[in-house]
Amino acid sequence: MESKLVWTPHQEEGFQLGHIVDLGAETFTVQPLAKGTKPLQAVIDRVFPAEEFAKDVDDNCSLLYLNEATLLNNLRMRFKKKIIYTYVANILLSVNPYELYKNLYTIETMRSYQGVSLGLKPPHVFAIADKAYREMRGYRASQAIIVSGESGAGKTEATKYILRYLTELYGGSSSHIEERIVQANPLLESFGNAKTMRNNNSSRFGKFVEVHFNEKCHIVGGHISHYLLEKSRVVSQWNEERNYHVFYRLLAGAPGSLKKTLGLDKSPKNGFSYLNPASLKCPGVDDTTDFKNLVQSMKSVGLSDKEQEDIFRLVSAVLWMGNITFEEDSSGKQTISKVDKHGQEALTYTANLLQLAPEDLHTSLTSRVMTTTRGGAMGTIYQLPLKKEQAAYARDALAKTLYTRLFDKLVERVNTCFPFETSHNYIGVLDIAGFEYFQVNSFEQFCINYCNEKLQQFFNRRVLKDEQELYRREMLSFTDVEFTDNQDCIDLIEASPTGIISLLDEQCKLPQASDVNFTDRVQKVHSTHFRLLVPRKSKLIAHRNLRDEEGLIIRHFAGAVCYSTKGFIDKNNDALHDSLEQLMLESKDTMIRGLVADNVDKKVTGKLVFISIGGNFRRQLGKLMDKLYSTGSSFIRCIKPNSYMKPGEFQGGSILSQLQCAGMVSVLELMQGGYPSRANFNDLYNMYKGLLPPKLQRLQPRLFCEALFRALGMLPSDYAFGMSKVFFKPGKFALFDQIMHSDPDNLNQLIAKVEHWLIRKRWKKLIFGAISVLKLAKKIQFRNEHAVIIQKWVRMFLAVRKHRPRYLGIKKIGLLRRQLEQMSGIVGNLKENKDKFSAEIEGIQIAIVAAIQAIRDTPNLGRTMIEQKYKELQSMAEGKLGELLEQEVRQKEKEEAERLRKIQEEMELDRKRREAEEASRLAEEEEREKRKQEEERERVLRQELEDRRRLEEAERKKMEESMAAEMAKLSLLEAEEDAIRRQQEEQERMDYELACRIAEVEATTTSGGDVIETQNIAMESRLARKTLKRGANMKAKQQASSAKKIDLRKWKYAELRDTINTSCEIELLNACREEFHRRLRVYNAWKMKNKRRDDAGGRDANETQRVPQDIMQIAEQSGKAGGPPPLPQRTVSIIEDQKQRYFKIPFIRPSDQSKKGYRKKGWWLAHFDGQWIARQMELHPDKQAILLVAGVDDLEMCELSLDETRLAQKPGAEVLEKDFETVWMKYGGKSYTRPIQRAKDAATN
């Protein structure tokens, strides 16, 4: 096998480096380079070629091989060098290092990226921020930077650095707005961020930060939109997680006086219930220092000391509220709830902090007011006691509501600290919780992942779909890239009225709403939906333990997530019952009254009003997506390197899954032939015309661009002209921009080059014009010469038409001389009056001569006069001829009397002879008629046969067309099924990888049998997909092979080769040869698909071409059309006498190109032993001859069968054996012995 390095899939590392050691039926066997490792089998389309040299690049599009394995390896090498940023075209990949790097985010680093085109400096988040600013300024259009990734991937930090870059470098000089935008972050993080199992500073809300600019592109203000704060975290957290930062910072950093005021100087005996006691401390987090930063942030956004104290008082009230506990009181007629003795202290503190009476708070928590709306007692108010569980639920609902409304108020207050009157454009930075998956997932994860589905769809459409549509509109050539559209998953969640959110809202409005009924309803409505599964179909044991009515599995773009629907009904309702809202309105604290009053609407007293969290989030998300679609976009994909948040650790398998989910593989496929940078002709013209002299500024924009690129020496492959834009390959626009903004001397040289190119272009136009003028002159001369010829023929025609009656008259009169000659002969035979008749004939002769002379001398003599003279002369001649004839008759009557008698006798004999001939003729005529009738009958019969043949031909064509249409329909159906199967297979793979990651992070034990079964199913699905994509010829061969007793699927490549060279068994030999060449065909197709991207023009396509291009094209076309009929099953006698055929055709490589185009520079000779090639030879005048022999050089030889090459039907291609052998021996080839003969000889010896 070849020694070429390849990447093979590996569960933990993502990919491992190795060599291909065997070509299986549907897999490659790869031997990893690591010592002591066993060979691995991998499906063919999951094996990728590796780079020859270990070298990292800034832009993954610069790699020689563009695939997910080289992308992952490039990230790995750069991460080891502590380089966390990498480009994929214009998309930035950011790997979270979990540590700070020196000088990476300094002000000097910021300034180094200011105004610099993307690609001129190493990848950085600052480069993306500056790109967004330059595009906003250049295109006068708002921009959005979408920062996405999993929780813990570093999205929040990236957002902060983007905002810091924009405010530091492009802030206004007379305002501190830019400082406030940055300093608002600690406040929002304190109230909206928390420690999770996967991130110590996880954003538990989404925010879209808009930085607004004026007409001079200076910052004038900002605005923050927030989405879906995780309310449930206020009252409960998972193990190893914490509540929101503000609670811990307040407890750790507040001064003693403030703690005493808030009742925090003495914590409860068992701690605060709303704080997880196991996670009060977080490694690497200093809550005391962070509290100081929080206070400073509050001051920077304009919060006074009194407002800060009110905020902290409400936070403390929420803390104490969690310690209010209840017990059941059965002393009365019915069981009611009341605050137990352990909760009395907390009740008092909470009431005091909320500035309420403790008795009123106790009553509102343990009872609910209802008002009748029907009947005679309408309007009567009832106070209904609550059970212990209901009271606890009311307590938690109040705590969550107060905290979330406080957070809303803080965001509003932050927005008021950087107001703006007018804004021309803005740059928005989206930071929202990344895709989340835990062992137990609830409503919060459902909403977060729903948002990520929408963002992934936006990425697919903006980067993949819209990009390809733009290429089509601009008439650029490119290869279509397929990607999985997740619209079906989004519809499953948000569609009305059958989407999950709509069904949840519908269930919430029912009097007896329950999570079980909601789950059951969703599963019934979407029982056949591909994206929805029941928990028992999960790949994790923990999820399979859930009952079907307790959970849902949604197959997201990143993999299947199992949601526990317990609590969905409660978490989707944002309403409090009236007792608690009315109580808050009675608070003496104006801030608390304001929080509640803003959300009180007109409603029936005592009636629980349903406010849908999911519905509101759906509407907010819709507005956000409208904003994103209306702006230009830049993408930052944040990558989480490991699940332990440890510096320096790179988990390849997890990172690969993130890259696949982020759509980076599809982006790589598009960028192979794509143009990530583009500019309108007019925009490019306006951008650089100020750098050029006036005479160059007068050029048309398209000609201007063309002149610049030619002058810069840019290759045509570096850019492409569309209908309205110029497009650049990755990195080429940055090079162009660097040259344009270089030093003046270089710019002067550039201008000189442009002028030189324009002079040459104009000179070529002048030369072309001169040549055109010369051609026109010759054309005029040609026309003049032929005009003379036409004139000559016209004049001749007019002369002929004028004199034609005269010379025709002369001609007719001249014919009368023949009669005179006849009369002279008669006169010569007369015996009487001979002189008299001679004189009369002489007179007529004179009259004829005179008439001819008169016609010649009279030009205007008409046709009538000529005809009259002719008739007169004719009458004279005929009269005189009559007289002569009478005289002659009388003279001869006597002489003829005797002769007449003899003639009479001869005539009688002649009559008898004619009668005999006539009889004979009639007999022949009758025979001829019979033959004619027989021929007519035969003609009619032939016509009938021809009509029948034509009818059969028409029916056959009709049948063929019908079969072709049916085959086309089947092919289309198969293609659709194949696309669905590929999508399902890819989803299965992502579900499996995500389950493995959950099991790894949560330390959950998975069932090994299930994992193996899933892998086998995925592999079988992939193999089925490959079989489906093959043509009719391959299917027929597979069916024929399956019908045989010999199963070669498990045979190794070397075993097939050895059997071909040593076996004497004909049937086995034939089966091995077919399977051997089938594997070669698959391997060569893999190499072609994964060819290098050389700057020199595709080395693989030129130097490793195995067969002339036209032969490969014929084979590909026949494969698409179903191919030739399957090869017949050969018998022993046929195989033993298989023909040895030899062919010679021109061999033209794409590299064999001169200025005049392609030219034939070599020959390709092939020797086929039956259907398969035995020897192959290439002859090029400028290279050494290449001689290849089957069994030794199979990987470099033609893998097609003789029928597939169609060489036998190519005129003049086949040559004699002696001609081939002569050339073969001339270049040092050895004599050939057939494999079957070699085996027989070996067996004999």
Binding site feature residues for ATP:
149-156
Would you call 155 helix, strand, or coil by DSSP?
helix
Q: Give dist(CA 125, CA 23) in Å, integer.
A: 44
Q: How many CB atoms lie within 10 A of CB 595?
A: 20
Annotated binding site: 149-156
Extract the tokens encoding 1120.
């698409």
Q: Give dist(CA 1214, CA 1220) in Å, integer.
A: 10
* φ, ψ dihedrals at 9, nearest 5°: -60, 145
* φ, ψ dihedrals at 701, nearest 5°: -55, -40
Q: What is the DSSP string of 457-469?
A: HHHIIIIIIHHHH
2 within 8 A of 20, measured Cβ to Cβ: yes
86 within 8 A of 74, measured Cβ to Cβ: yes
Extract the tokens encoding 216.
């001079």
1238 within 8 A of 1064, measured Cβ to Cβ: no
Q: Give dist(CA 683, CA 673) in Å, integer.
A: 24
Task: Output the CA torsion sign for 590, 591, 592, 594.
Answer: positive
32 within 8 A of 50, measured Cβ to Cβ: no
Task: Output the CA torsion sign for 524, 528, 531, 532.
Answer: positive
| Residue 794: C-alpha distances to residues 188, 786, 787, 858 (Å) | 102, 12, 10, 24
| Residue 903: C-alpha distances to residues 897, 911, 1227 (Å) | 10, 12, 96
How would you label 320-342 residue by residue, b for 16+ Cβ within 10 Å and e otherwise? Answer: bbbbbbbeeeeeeeeebbbbeee
* φ, ψ dihedrals at 1066, nearest 5°: -65, -50
Element (H, E) at 186: helix 177-192
Q: Give dist(CA 611, CA 573) in Å, integer.
A: 5
Q: Give dist(CA 1119, CA 1113) in Å, integer.
A: 10
Task: Output the CA torsion sign for 269, 274, 278, 284.
Answer: negative
Burial of residue 559, with CB atoms counted within 10 A of its CB: 0-12 exposed, 13-18 middle, 19 or more buried: buried
Extract the tokens encoding 412.
């509003």
Extract the tokens encoding 1034.
């391959």
Which amino acid does the sequence have at 26? Answer: E
Q: Give dist(CA 571, CA 616) in Å, integer.
A: 13
Q: Give dist(CA 660, CA 990) in Å, integer.
A: 9
Nearest CA-CA partner of 1227 in 1176, 1168, 1192? 1176
Q: Give dist(CA 972, CA 976) in Å, integer.
A: 6
The contacts of residue 1008 (CB under 8 Å, 6+ apart) are: none
Extract the tokens encoding 569.
């009904």
560 within 8 A of 998, measured Cβ to Cβ: no
Extract the tokens encoding 1069.
């030999």
Give the angle 628-631-635 at the CA atoms, nearest 5°: 65
Could you say which DSSP state residue 1184 is in? Answer: -
402 within 8 A of 355, measured Cβ to Cβ: no
Would you call 822 helix, strand, or coil by DSSP?
helix
343 within 8 A of 323, measured Cβ to Cβ: yes
